[in-house]
Structure formats: structure tokens, C-alpha cells
Amino acid sequence: MLNIFIGFDPREAVAYHVCSNSLARLSSEVLAITPLALKNLKSYEETHTDGSNHFIYSRFLIPHLMNYNGWALFMDGDMIVRDDIAKLFAMRDESKAVMCVHHDYKTRQTTKYLGSRNENYPRKNWSSVVLWNCGHPANRNVTPEFVMKSTGAQLHRFTWLDDDLVGELPIEWNWLPDEFGANPGAKLLHFTLGTPCFHEYANSPMAAEWHREKLLANYSLQHVIDGPFDE
């Protein structure tokens, strides 16, 4: 069974459901999907006052939530997959503490969804898709207290780890269509500037695929009624 945590923000709850639908629809393995929602985290108090979403820091609780055992994937909610997520898990490297796409880019926009500031910083978006080796000894330091006391720069840049413990995943598994443009070979689409549920991002590159996934998430087979009194 593959453990997946998806960032949940009540301001865009639809994003979580669309993301999880794409995962379940395409996976060849059994999935355990958990919404990472702040109100459910009894062992953690959000002390940070910055950040554009509700899971910007709680994502680093994954080793703790997994009891420092096994592998788990964290994903931002503003994503959909286009391929079997089991293929990503198959890239696990036991020598690494975390694995992620090593993005190296400068954003084109100073703001993103809901007017949030969109700043450039080293290792931007590395922590948006993280394959966690929760049992790795180097992750034992990542406790709720550690997360509460650490800065965003310390956490999102994985500063508690030596660089050789931060494994690299192919960029197709965290593709940013609103920054890089369309990519038919992308495995995971990350609408980092804004999920297409927001009107101003409804027509961003590859947003049509997100809207299609939303329709599939809302789908239900209907009984055909032959007449007005048919039961």
C-alpha cells in the first residue's frame, strides 16, 4: 500500500478532491490517501505567520505522522497526476532521506492565487512533491517541535540534511505548466500559481486537464428512467 499525504486548504477544498481522484483513477497499487489538514493535527500548533496555504509547514510532519517508518509521498493540493503514481514510488532510493524534483527557475509572477506574494528563493518548489524516507535516521530530528521552531528557509531547503541525502526525481513528476508551459510528457501537473478552480487561472496552460479531472471526480452513473413514473 502506498501512503500519500495531500495538502488540504479549505479555501480550495476542491483541489484536494480532484488531486486524489486522479491518483486513484490511475494507480496500479492500493493507495492510502490522507488529507493534511491543520485542524486534524493535535500534536502540532501552527506558529508561523507567513505562507500562502494551510499546509506550507505541516508537510514536514510526514515522518512524525508515519511514526518514522516506511515511505510516504507528500503532494501539494494544486496538482493532478497523468500517470501511475506507483512509478514514482518505484524510484525510491534507501540511501536518501528525501527525494524531490530539483527545480532551478525564477518565477515570472510576483503574486499568485488569492493575492499571495510569490517570491523567488533557493530550492523553490522542491518541497511541493516529496518522497519521504520516513525511517531514515536523518529524519528523526524532524519532530513537531522542530517544525514549529524552524523558519521557512530552513525547512523548504531541507537544511537539516546533507545535500547528498536529498535525492533527485525527474522534472516530469513536478511539472509547472503555468511557469514552464505545456508539456505532453509531464507525469504530474503542478498549478503552482493557482489551481484552475480560481477564475484568474481557469485558462492557464494545461488547465483543461484539471477541469476534465474535476468532471470525473463529480461523475456518477445514472439510472435510465423510461417514463415519468418509472421506479
Closest listed residue to residue 51, CA positions, set 133, 140, 138, 155: 155
Residue 102 near residue 77 (C-beta atoms within 8 A):
no
| Cα–Cα distance for residue pair 191/77, rounded to 1 Å | 9
pLDDT tens for residues 25-65? 999 999 999 999 888 888 777 777 665 567 788 999 999 99
- Bridge pairing between strands 2-7 and 98-101: unpaired
pLDDT bracket for residue 105 (50, 70, 90): confident
CA–CA distance from 185 to each of 27, 34, 52, 129, 223 (Å)?
A: 18, 27, 29, 18, 37
Residue 229 has pLDDT above 80, yes or no: no
Average pLDDT, the chain: 91
* Residue 225: predicted pLDDT: 79
Torsions phi, psi for 65 (to 5 deg): -65, -25
Options 3.90.550.10, 3.30.70.3270, 3.40.50.720, 3.40.50.300; CATH of 2-217: 3.90.550.10
Residue 157 has pLDDT above 60, yes or no: yes
∠ CA 123-127-128, rounded to 5°: 115
pLDDT bracket for residue 127 (50, 70, 90): very high
145 contact partners, CB below 8 Å, separation of at least 6: none
Helices (H), the chain: 13-26, 62-65, 86-89, 144-149, 152-156, 177-180, 207-217
pLDDT tens for residues 190-217? 999 999 999 999 999 999 999 999 999 9
* Residue 39: predicted pLDDT: 86
Greater confidence, 149 or 228? Answer: 149
∠ CA 222-226-227, rounded to 5°: 120
- Per DSSP, the three-state class of 8 is coil
Greater confidence, 231 or 153? Answer: 153
Mean per-residue pLDDT, 54-83:
94
Domain residue extents for the chain: 2-217
DSSP string, 175-227: B-HHHH---TT-SEEE-TT--TTSGGGTTSTTHHHHHHHHHHHT----PPP-S
The pTM of the full predicted model, rounded to 2 decimals, is 0.90
